[in-house]
Chain A
Amino acid sequence: EAQVTQNPRYLITVTGKKLTVTCSQNMNHEYMSWYRQDPGLGLRQIYYSMNVEVTDKGDVPEGYKVSRKEKRNFPLILESPSPNQTSLYFCASSRPTKSYSYNEQFFGPGTRLTVL
């Protein structure tokens, strides 16, 4: 089954304790992206990646890191989490087309993170 998976689905942690949220897709997609969603703010893009070793900042990259060493994986790293990073996080993937548009993005089920 074509899908995007995220782990963990729920996480409660404390300020300053490094954490990684994993994202994996089995569709051989080049494009992957991370979003956070907060009440009243919709979805905001954190980082995205066009392909292996190619990443770029989205709208709210501060406090986050990403890496893209393999095509299927795009982990989100919080080196020193803070309470304002408490949010619902979504990973997504897509295959870009030649015309700079791209087809549908497939979203993961979400990771609900609480930083105390």
Chain B
Amino acid sequence: DAKTTQPPSMDCAEGRAANLPCNHSTISGNEYVYWYRQIHSQGPQYIIHGLKNNETNEMASLIITEDRKSSTLILPHATLRDTAVYYCIVREGDSSYKLIFGSGTRLLVRP
């Protein structure tokens, strides 16, 4: 079973912030949250990951709630090239490296 829940689709205007939510209510204490995106049928691309604290890199910011049951990926200034499917992923278990991808959110950035 998928460990994350994401809205199937979202849209935003070019130049505005895109905020993509993810619920992971059963996450355990040392599981990380990862975000990837897939543009068309290309290989998925890593965006960011985090454990407890908010994280920021050149692509995006990741906001994790204090109870760690949900997170939000923020693309601060969305461009048309950010149109993609965004996957929120948690790593399963404390001793397993198995990944479970959710169904993802299809983000459409409008001109």
Most chain A CB within a 10 A radius of its CB, from B46, B97, B100, B102: B97
Give the distance in Å from the alpha carbon of A106 to the alpha carbon of B103 in the complex: 20
Please tell me if the beta carbons of B51 and A101 are within 8 angstroms of each other in the complex: yes
| Chain B residues with a Cβ closer than 8 Å to the other chain, count | 24
Please measure, in the bound complex, the distance between the C-alpha atom of A45 and the C-alpha atom of B32, giving whole angstroms. 18
User: Which residue of the partner chain, among B42, B44, B45, contacts A43 with CB atoms under 8 Å?
Assistant: B44
Give A26 Cβ to nearest chain B Cβ, in Å: 15
Which residues 82-116 of A sit at the B interface, judged by CB distance below 8 A?
Answer: 88, 90, 92, 96, 99-110, 112
User: Given the interface contacts A107-B44, A109-B42, A110-B41, does A43 sit within 8 Å of B49 by beta carbon?
Assistant: no
Give the interface size class of chain A.
20 to 34
- By secondary structure, the A interface counts as strand
Given A42-B103, A42-B104, A100-B30: A110 and B97 within 8 A (CB)?
no
Q: Which of B14-22, B66-74, B75-83, B87-95 contacts A (4 or more CB under 8 A)?
A: B87-95
Q: Are B100 and A31 in contact (CB under 8 A)?
A: no
B36 nearest in chain A by CB position: A105
State whether A43 and B41 are in contact (beta carbons under 8 Å apart), knowing that A59-B100, A96-B97, A100-B30 are contacts in the complex. no
**What chain B residues lie within 8 Å of A48 (beta carbons)?**
97-99
A105 to B43, CA, bound (A): 10
Q: Which residues from chain B contact A50 at a C-beta distance below 8 Å?
A: 97
Residues in A neighbouring B94, C-beta threshold 8 A: 100
Whether A105 contacts B46 by the Cβ 8 Å rule is yes
**What 8 pairs between A and B have smallest CB-CB spacing?**
A107-B43, A104-B46, A43-B101, A101-B32, A42-B101, A42-B103, A107-B44, A90-B43
Residues on A lying within 8 angstroms of B by beta carbon are 4, 31, 33, 35, 37, 40-45, 48, 50, 56, 58-59, 88, 90, 92, 96, 99-110, 112
Task: List 17 A–B pairs whose Cβ atoms lie within 8 Å, in order of A's numbering.
Answer: A33-B99, A42-B103, A43-B38, A45-B98, A58-B98, A90-B44, A100-B30, A100-B94, A101-B32, A101-B91, A104-B46, A104-B49, A105-B36, A105-B46, A106-B46, A107-B44, A107-B45
